[in-house]
């Protein structure tokens, strides 16, 4: 699988991200509550390792609330402060300023003890494409605030938005890359509609989605589309059943799987089938083990290729 929307050149992106992170006290990472693991950047923990961290689980309106709570606890156990949000409605958005100030409490008190009257806290929003960064910033900014303009020590062109008297947000979000070497992550990002370029055709993608749903929420599929199946059935057969049930039949009498696939995916993305979370913390070990395995295989292949090359050139 080849994900093309990786933002520019790796080195340059990482450098810019590090520069921006060095300007703030708190890094606010947005993730998609439907796929909290797959929508989290693999490198941000390292890039922001000396910073206070907030994870915003966004799009909670589309995710399974009970599973969101499990994930929230899971991230909290890892030391993150978690905010649940729906950036479109604005839920959770106004918690960022107070949460950031609470995280910075010790520093603020230290500075105040030294006689500083005003200790502003600065934060930036980061996240992979489509998690809702712009929506979140727009909602945070609302109607009240004005941009604070360039300040000394700030890379030229950077704008700080004063949200509250003592809290400022960098006006442009940091776009992070996903775990793009992991095929399963790519699939899930495609399912939620985060990747638009044609990695997979709609029918194949929908078949993968049904395959996952047959384990995660089989009843959602059964009830919405009025179909019956067993977990061990072929997902493409289920897609055909949905086509028949919906009356999507081609001229020759064949089920129109392509049309059905498009609709089924749209209904999932729009939250019409229900609030769904596609992965749980216990899936992670398996996914990571798979990634390590693939990485090892790749290394072995590279080594073999190098050895082959050497052999040829020594001859």
Pick one of 102, 134, 196, 198: the residue that binds ligand GDP (CB under 6 A): 134
By the rule CB under 6 A, 88 interacts with ligand GDP = yes
Q: Hunting for tokens 């052999």 — which residue is that?
A: 311
Q: Is 135 in the site for ligand GDP (CB under 6 A)?
A: yes
* Closest-CA residue to 266 (of 155, 192, 216): 192
Q: How far is the CB of 130 from ligand GDP (least distance, A)?
A: 5
Provide, rounded to whole angstroms, the least separation between the CB of residue 271 and ligand GDP.
6
Closest CA to 194 of 58, 9, 13: 58
Q: Which stretch binds ligand GDP (CB under 6 A): 86-94, 150-158, 164-172, 234-242?
A: 86-94
Site residues for ligand GDP, 47-66, by CB under 6 A, read 58-59, 61-62
- Indicate the residue among 60 and 260 with the shorter CB distance to ligand GDP: 60
**Quick check: 44 and 124 in contact, CB under 8 A?**
no
Residue 195 is a binding residue for ligand GDP (CB under 6 A): no
178 is an interface residue for ligand GDP by CB under 6 A: no
**Per the structure block, which two tokens stand in for 47?**
């890039």
Contacting residue, 52, 53, 72, 133, with ligand GDP by CB under 6 A: 133
Distances (CA, A) of 8 to 16, 97, 194, 284, 309: 11, 31, 17, 28, 31
Stretch that binds ligand GDP, among 83-91, 229-237, 246-254, 280-288 (CB under 6 A): 83-91
Name the segment binding ligand GDP (CB under 6 A); options: 49-57, 65-73, 96-104, 129-137: 129-137
> Whole-angstrom Cα distance, residue 162 to residue 62?
30
Q: Contacting ligand GDP (CB under 6 A), which of 36, 132, 186, 235?
A: 132
Q: Closest separation between CB of residue 62 and ligand GDP, Å?
A: 5
Q: What are the distances in angstroms from CA 267 to CA 191, 206, 209, 273, 311?
A: 11, 11, 12, 6, 56
Asked if 174 is part of the footprint of ligand GDP (rule: CB under 6 A), the reply reads: no
- Min separation Cβ 141 and ligand GDP, Å: 13
Q: Which of 203, 206, 242 lies closest to 226, judged by CA?
A: 242
Nearest 5°: phi and psi at 31? Answer: -130, 165
Ramachandran assignment for 214, one of left (phi > 0), alpha (psi -120 to 50 degrees), beta (any other): alpha
Three-state SS string over 35-103 comes to CCCCCCCCCHHHHCCCCEEEEEEECCCCCCHHHHHHHHHHHHHCCCEEEECECCCCECCCHHHHHHHHH
Q: How far is the CB of 177 from ligand GDP (least distance, A)?
A: 13
Site for ligand GDP contains 129 (CB under 6 A)? yes
Q: Which is nearer to ligand GDP, 90 or 281 (CB)?
A: 90
Q: Indicate the residue among 186 and 255 with the shorter CB distance to ligand GDP.
A: 186
Least Å distance, CB 131 to ligand GDP, is: 5
The residue whose Cβ lies closest to ligand GDP is 132
Q: Applying CB under 6 A, which residues contact ligand GDP?
A: 58-59, 61-62, 86-88, 127, 129-135
């Amino acid at each position: 699988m080849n994900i093309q929307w990786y933002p520019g050149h790796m080195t340059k992106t990482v450098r810019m991200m590090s520069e921006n992170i060095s300007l703030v006290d708190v890094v606010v990472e947005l993730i998609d509550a439907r796929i909290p693991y797959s929508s989290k950047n693999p490198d941000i923990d390292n890039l922001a390792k000396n910073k206070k961290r907030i994870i915003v689980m966004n799009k909670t309106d589309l995710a399974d609330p009970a599973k969101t709570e499990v994930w929230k606890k899971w991230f909290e156990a890892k030391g993150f402060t978690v905010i649940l949000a729906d950036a479109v409605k604005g839920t959770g958005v106004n918690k960022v300023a107070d949460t950031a100030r609470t995280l910075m409490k010790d520093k603020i008190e230290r500075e105040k003890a030294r006689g500083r009257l005003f200790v502003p806290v600065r934060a930036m929003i980061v996240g992979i494409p489509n998690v809702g960064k712009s929506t979140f910033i727009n909602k945070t900014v609302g109607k009240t605030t004005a941009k604070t303009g360039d300040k000394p020590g700030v890379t030229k062109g950077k704008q700080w938005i004063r949200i509250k008297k003592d809290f400022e947000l960098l006006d442009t979000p940091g776009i992070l890359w996903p775990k793009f070497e992991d095929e399963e992550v790519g699939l899930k990002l495609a399912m939620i509609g985060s990747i638009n370029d044609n990695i997979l055709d709609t029918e194949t993608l929908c078949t993968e989605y049904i395959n996952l749903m047959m384990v995660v929420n089989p009843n959602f599929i059964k009830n919405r589309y009025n179909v019956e199946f067993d977990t061990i059935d072929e997902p493409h057969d289920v897609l055909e059943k949905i086509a028949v049930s919906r009356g999507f039949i081609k001229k020759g009498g064949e089920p129109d799987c392509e049309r059905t696939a498009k609709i089924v995916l749209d209904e999932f993305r729009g939250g019409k089938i229900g609030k769904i979370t596609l992965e749980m913390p216990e899936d992670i070990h398996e996914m990571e083990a798979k990634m390590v395995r693939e990485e090892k295989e790749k290394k072995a292949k590279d080594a073999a290729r190098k050895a082959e090359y050497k052999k040829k050139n020594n001859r």
